[in-house]
């Protein structure tokens, strides 16, 4: 129905979305897994891109990762929440993975998808987080090299077990200082990672006008990178854009730049021949 109405990109939403199918019957062989679901959606004519959020590291298995590599419509972007690089803090958060398990998942992802765009979530200042715990988070972030990250300062929420923790509460000043260091690292990595797109021609799904320049367009790549570019494409269309500049947040380019450059070159040569 959505594809028939012209929808070209879909996002699957769910808490621990990649655990889909674990509660369905049919046995291990007959059960519809999340990877199977991605495969079924990939077979729908008209759906060009499939995304999902948010997965859980414990359920990021090889069949799901292979779906990104083998299915044309599954995007080259994976959001893999880290929360903390300290196994001790992850246990206190009641996360069901540790630092080593997380890094193992990242290694498997990069093995199958060398050019993947990885994003994550990180929480700073969880009760009991020591300087060493935070340093371990910085080490993991530095080792992985994320394309982007959502960073949060811990704040207690009424009704949660974390809100009842009274020992090891991290002061606001320490949280602020740690957050500044984390954001600086994330942004420097994102800026460096984005440079790999400069000079490449990428497929962009046009979303509308650029938010910073109404004369330009705005769209998104399969890697979930926002692109501001000059061109004539309409919202909802796919177009080819050559990337000429990259920042930590966005890419900049021109639609069909190479084709236009070739045309301009031919026109110049034609005028030169006519003048002889």
For the chain, the structural domain boundaries read 1-75, 77-196, 198-261
Give the DSSP H or E segment for 234: none
**H or E, element range at 200:** none
This prediction's pTM? 0.88
Is 243 within 8 Å of 199 (Cβ atoms)?
yes
Interatomic CA distance for residues 232 and 213, integer angstroms:
14
Confidence of residue 158 (pLDDT cuts 50, 70, 90): confident
pLDDT for residue 168: 81
- Same CATH fold assignment for domains 1-75 and 77-196: yes
pLDDT tens-digit readout, 191-233: 999 999 999 999 999 999 999 899 999 999 999 999 999 999 9
Give the N- to C-terminal CA distance of the chain in Å, as an integer.
61
Report which of 100, 60, 50, 61 is spatially closest to residue 80, judged by C-alpha positions: 60
Residues 6+ apart with CB under 8 A from 121: 54, 79, 81, 82, 83, 149, 150, 151, 152
Does residue 92 have a pLDDT over 50? yes
Domain topology for 77-196: Transcription Regulator spoIIAA (3.30.750)
3-state secondary structure of 19: helix
Q: What does the mean pLDDT of the chain come to? A: 90
Please give the average per-residue pLDDT across 134-139, as a whole number: 98
Domain covering 198-261: architecture: Beta Barrel (2.40)
The token pair at 180 is: 């500044």
Residue 186 CB-density burial (10 A; 0-12 exposed, 13-18 middle, 19+ buried): buried
Please give the Cα distance from 117 to 125 (Å, whole number).
26
* CATH code of the region 1-75: 3.30.750.210
Give me 270's structure tokens: 């034609």
């Amino acid at each position: 129905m959505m594809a028939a109405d012209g929808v070209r990109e879909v996002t699957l939403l769910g808490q621990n979305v990649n655990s889909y199918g674990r509660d369905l019957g049919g046995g291990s062989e007959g059960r519809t897994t999340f990877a199977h679901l991605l495969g079924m959606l990939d077979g729908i004519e008209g759906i060009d891109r499939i995304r999902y959020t948010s997965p859980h590291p414990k359920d990021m298995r090889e069949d799901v990762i292979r779906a990104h590599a083998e299915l044309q419509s599954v995007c080259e972007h994976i959001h893999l929440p880290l929360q903390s690089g300290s196994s001790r803090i992850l246990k206190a958060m009641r996360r069901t993975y540790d630092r080593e398990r997380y890094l193992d998942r990242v290694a498997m992802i990069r093995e199958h998808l060398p050019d993947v765009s990885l994003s994550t979530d990180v929480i700073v200042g969880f009760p009991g987080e020591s300087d060493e715990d935070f340093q371990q988070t910085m080490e993991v972030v530095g080792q992985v090299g994320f394309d982007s990250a959502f960073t949060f300062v811990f704040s207690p929420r009424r009704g949660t077990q974390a809100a009842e923790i009274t020992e090891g509460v991290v002061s606001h000043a320490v949280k602020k200082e740690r957050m500044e260091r984390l954001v600086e690292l994330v942004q420097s990595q994102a800026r460096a990672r984005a440079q790999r797109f400069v000079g490449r021609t990428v497929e962009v799904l046009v979303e509308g006008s650029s938010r910073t320049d109404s004369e330009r367009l705005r769209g998104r790549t399969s890697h979930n990178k926002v692109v501001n570019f000059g061109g004539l494409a309409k919202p909802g269309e796919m177009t080819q854009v050559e990337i000429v500049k990259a920042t930590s947040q966005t890419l900049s380019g021109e639609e069909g730049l190479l084709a236009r450059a070739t045309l301009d070159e031919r026109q110049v040569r034609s005028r030169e021949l006519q003048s002889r």
